[in-house]
Amino acid sequence: MVIHGGIREKDFLDFSISVNPFVPEWFEDLSKLNEDLRRYTYIEWLEENFQNTFGNDTVIVAGAMEALHIIGWEFFKDSVVFIPVPNYYEYFRVASFSSFGIVKVPMVENCEYKVENFEKLLKLVEKYRKIGKRMCFITSNPNNPTGIFLDLSELLNTLVDKGVLCIIDEAFLDFVDEEKLRSFENNLKVSKQIIRLRTFTKSFGLPGVRVGYVKSAEYKNVFLSRRMPWAVGGTGYVFLEKLLANDWKDFLKRTKKYIKNEMKKFASFDFFKSDANYFMVKVKEIDKVLDFLRLHRISVRDARSFEIGDFIRIGIKDSQANDFLLEKLKEISNLLVMKEGG
């Protein structure tokens, strides 16, 4: 079974999920949902309006997961798939559907994120290019689980030039500093040739609403022809209607400011200096830490499933919950690896 965040217990503070702790005011009124649940809702009815807002190269899908499944069968087939590690486990699962093979590129050594390891990736690309293999590269940016946002423009430009299809999962992009985003976009020369995945789940605090989009000028028609009819469902349809009719940019701007301020509380615990709405804590005895937090009805993400070792991942919640967690982390600081100067 693939391990994801989220828990069944409703009386726990769930820091294992990495979604916005707030929901837009304009989505709190769900009266129209009752109406739309009793009829077929064609996402095509919204597509033109959606593209006017998010770009003509976009395709609405049922969250990043539907896009990943299409990628797994359509693009990874008979390909060598390069995946930096640590990363979202679902990439490995969909790559196992029909790929020639999966090549992991370790990015964390001795608990340090090594950007220079991308040089190793380029050497591997040359190796497989010489024998004529199809190649794909997929990663999350910001990275899940570390939260690190990298300017991957130079790497992507090079990979595309070498014939590698690049897929970038940007599920947490809305939390990244605007200046960093501008630098990346300005330096990216191959935006039309890559596939970018976006989801509204994380940014709008609605994990139960499965709706997102693919952004790709070159491969747009593949997703249009392969997506499932009615997959977004009535809830997703209502969400998109409300999104397109309201000022969602102001909501995200306020959220980003809030997340940034709350993250400062955890500066001494944030091991990788996250750019997203979650962060990683390095622990000495992970099972003791997890047991202690569960005792206080706190759930965090056991990051061992990301193949990164003894870390826990924590998603930012409302201020009161964050303060309670901070208090508990301080109580077990002897079991945690603290950052100097935090």
Quickly state the pLDDT bin for 3 (edges 50, 70, 90): very low
Domains and CATH numbers, the chain: 13-23+249-335 (3.90.1150.10), 30-245 (3.40.640.10)
Which range, of 60-64, 111-115, 166-170, 227-231, averages the lowest pLDDT? 111-115
Residue of 187, 144, 141 lying closest to 167 (CA atoms): 141
Is a pLDDT exceeding 60 seen at residue 121?
yes
Quickly state the pLDDT bin for 1 (edges 50, 70, 90): very low
Give me the pLDDT at residue 31, please. 59
pTM of the model: 0.93
Q: How far apart are CA 36 and CA 51, in angstroms?
A: 22
Which range, of 73-77, 154-158, 212-216, 304-308, averages the lowest pLDDT? 304-308
Query: What integer is the mean pLDDT of 190-206?
Result: 95
Is a pLDDT exceeding 90 seen at residue 25?
no
Higher pLDDT residue, 7 or 146?
146
Query: What integer is the mean pLDDT of 153-180?
Result: 97
Quickly state the pLDDT bin for 238 (edges 50, 70, 90): confident
Residue of 107, 89, 110 lying closest to 282 (CA atoms): 110
Q: How far apart are CA 51 and CA 287, in angstroms?
A: 47
Query: What integer is the mean pLDDT of 51-79?
Result: 97
Is a pLDDT exceeding 90 seen at residue 235?
no
| 33-70 burial code (b ≥16 CB/10 A, e <16) | eeebeeeebebeebbeebeeeeeebbbbbbbbbbbbbb
Is a pLDDT exceeding 60 seen at residue 141?
yes
Query: What integer is the mean pLDDT of 291-299?
Result: 97
Is a pLDDT exceeding 50 seen at residue 2?
no
Give me the pLDDT at residue 287, please. 96
Give me the pLDDT at residue 114, please. 87
Displacement of CA 249 from its chain's centroid (Å): 19
